[in-house]
Each structure stands twice: as C-alpha cells, then as structure tokens.
Amino acid sequence: MKVLSVVGNRPQFVKSAPLSLALREVGIEEVGLHTGQHYDRELSELFFEELGLPEPRYRLDLRTADSAAMQPGIETAARAERPDWLLVYGDTNSTLAGATAAAALGVPLAHVEAGLRSGDPTMPEEHNRIETDRLAQLLLCPDQRSRETLERERVDGRIEVVGDVMYDASLLFAPLARERHEPPHPPRSYVVATIHREANVVQPRLGRIAEGLNRLAEPVVFPAHPRTRAALERERIALAGHVELVAPLGYLELTALVAHARVVVTDSGGLQKEAYWFGVPCVTARPSTEWVDTVEAGANVLVDDDPERLAAAVAEARMPEERPHLYGDGAAADRIAGLLGTLARS
C-alpha cells in the first residue's frame, strides 16, 4: 500500500512527522511531496534535519502560494506513483491543491484536521477547509466538535475522530526542544509574538498589532516571517526597543521559546494549541479562531487588531487552574495509519 503525502509549510511538516513514523510501523509506503509554498530555509529545510524526516521524493520548488500553480505537479506525481491515498493536512493552499489534484485524478483523499471552522468567511483558510472537506473520502477530525460540524454540512466522506497529530508531535519533540535550546530571557519573563497571516501583514492591521506589542511592559521576542518583516520595513512601522525582531526560528527552537514564555501573542492556529498544551496563556490577534475550545477554557483571548485590548489581555493573561485536556491523547497518528491501511484493504 502507498500514500502520497502533500506538505507545503512548517505546521504541515510537524504534523507529518509522527504520522510518517506510524505509517512505517504498519508497513505503508509513504511518498512525500513538498510544494515549496514555504521556501525559506528556516521555514522548511530545517524540518528534514531537525525532525529526521525523509527527504520528499518530489519537490515542486514553486515558491508560490498559488494552489492552481501547485496542482499540475501534484497530479504528475500522483500519476507516477498511483497511491492508494493522497494525504493532505490542515488548511493551506497546498492542502487545497492536493485535494483538487486528487479529485481530478479520482485518487482517494484523506484530510487531517477535517471539520475545523473559524466562522470567518474572509479567511482564505476557511475556504480551503470547506472545499477540502467537500472533496475528501476520509475526514480525520481532531475532536467531536469537528465531527458535528461535518455532519451538519452533510459531507459525503467517512468521518472519524482521531485526535490531533500536532499533539503527537508535541509529545515527541517538546522534550528535545527544551534540551537543545535555552530561552533568551528567564522563563516566564517574556512574551513571544508571531504574526504571519495575510490579513495581518497589511495596513492598518499590522500597524495596530505592532502598537499593541509596543505597549507591553515585558520583553517581546518576535520571530518574523519574511513576509511580516518585509511589510514592517515597507510600511515603516516602528517597534519599541523591548520588541526584539529576530529571524524565523526552527521548529525546535520556537517550541522551546514558547514553552518557557509567560504569554504568546499569535495569529497561528498551531501555536494556540501548543501554548495550551505547554500551560502558556495565549492572546490571538484574530477576530475568530478554529480552536474555540481554548477560548472557552479561558486559556486564549481573541483581541483582533485592537492595540488596547491586546495590551490589556497580555497584562491580565493567566492559565485557568483547571482546564480540560483538549485534542487527543497522543495516539492520533497510530489511529490514522490504522484507518488508511484497513480502508485500503476493505
């Protein structure tokens, strides 16, 4: 049996790692395809080195986020490999390109993180999620809420709640991250900020978020996506002296940085979850989130781009004394590998 795994950005590399191990354990051949959606070395190549992932057999090296440009290369690989399943992760344009390629060729599609919804139709990621779920034959949900969403939408594919492969990855790699990397400030004395979504790196939103960071009293470590740094420079947005703009970090270094922070300010879906698992309160610079359970638990606050709300939320941020265990038990990858093998034989 063979699976063609399509990945294109950092979170997808991370999610693919435990599943790659699980697929090997059950004897499923995995062929990797890297779309090149994120081509910066710090955002892509280090994952093959840090996480020990096998090199992808196919590298489109497109250096674009255009899903239509990615689709022909994915189709070419799928025709050559004739996989039993084409596997996609999350909600990026690479996800959508993989889904549309599978549909065009009639290859069964499995979607990891199916059923997530932010409720914000202005987000490109929301459209990618909905269309990918519409096309998938196997919808792999992180939680029961996602299943219920898909049932309301009456998707055609088979729905399974498997847990979150990102939690599997966190269990695998967080101890290694802490061992390898020391934070630049004493633990719980600084804030980590990551801002990269397309809607947040244009004016006036980026300037308003920067204003909120400038109001904070603590050191802010700000690993900047290349698109974010370019926008800050282009728009001449000034950061206060305590906001430390640094180059993008490898996954392990960023994990260690977040795990020791007092608060995380982010627009990343993955970091909202990781902060929760590490016991670090989160402030999310978005009007909505697909990970609503973290908000309901009191561990995450949505502030949109309001600088006053951002600063107040960081100052007041505390993890609740009791919080539910969210998004799985660390065995999601094993469940997915088992389903892929069983369904291919049925």
Catalytic residue status for 196? yes
In 3D space, the residue among 173, 166, 142 whose CA is nearest the CA of residue 15 turns out to be 166
DSSP-derived secondary structure for 159-210: EEE---HHHHHHHHHHHHHHHH---SS-TTS-EEEE---GGGSSTTHHHHHH
To 5 degrees, how large is the angle CA 223–CA 142–CA 67?
Answer: 60
HSE toward the beta carbon, residue 176, CA cutoff 13 A: 11
Q: Report the alpha-carbon distance of residue 70 to residue 128 in Å, rounded.
A: 14
In 3D space, the residue among 190, 259, 266 whose CA is nearest the CA of residue 221 turns out to be 190
Helix (H, G, I), strand (E, B) or coil at 110: strand
Residue whose structure tokens are 């999350």? 90
DSSP-derived secondary structure for 40-64: SGGGTHHHHHHS-PPPPSEE-----
Q: Choose the catalytic residue: 38, 196, 225, 260.
A: 196
What are the residue numbers of the active site?
A: 196
